[in-house]
Amino acid sequence: MASFLYRLGCRAFQRAFFAGVHIMPWREPAILRGAGSLEKLPSRLQAEGIDNVLLVTDKFLAGTPHFARLQNLLNESGVRFSV
């Protein structure tokens, strides 16, 4: 009986989520590719009206020169960020 109720609860959640996805605003993500992508990012964020971002990374990537460059570019353009 508990298994049945659990499955019923899961199905109800799935249906509610499926309905909610169709009424929530959804934007297709923009993908920046190629050389100079990091340099394009701050202006793209400003064009979208985004002035505060969350950078999600791990310990290894946080120590790379690319991540430091990204932080510098965001600082120079006035975009606030949290890591």
DSSP secondary structure letters along 42-82 = HHHHHHTT--EEE----HHHHTSHHHHHHHHHHHHHT-EEE
Give residue limits of the domains in the chain: 2-82
Which two structure tokens, joined as six digits, stand for 36? 């100079």
Span 18-64, pLDDT tens digits: 888 778 877 788 888 999 888 999 999 999 888 899 999 999 999 99
pTM score of the predicted model: 0.64
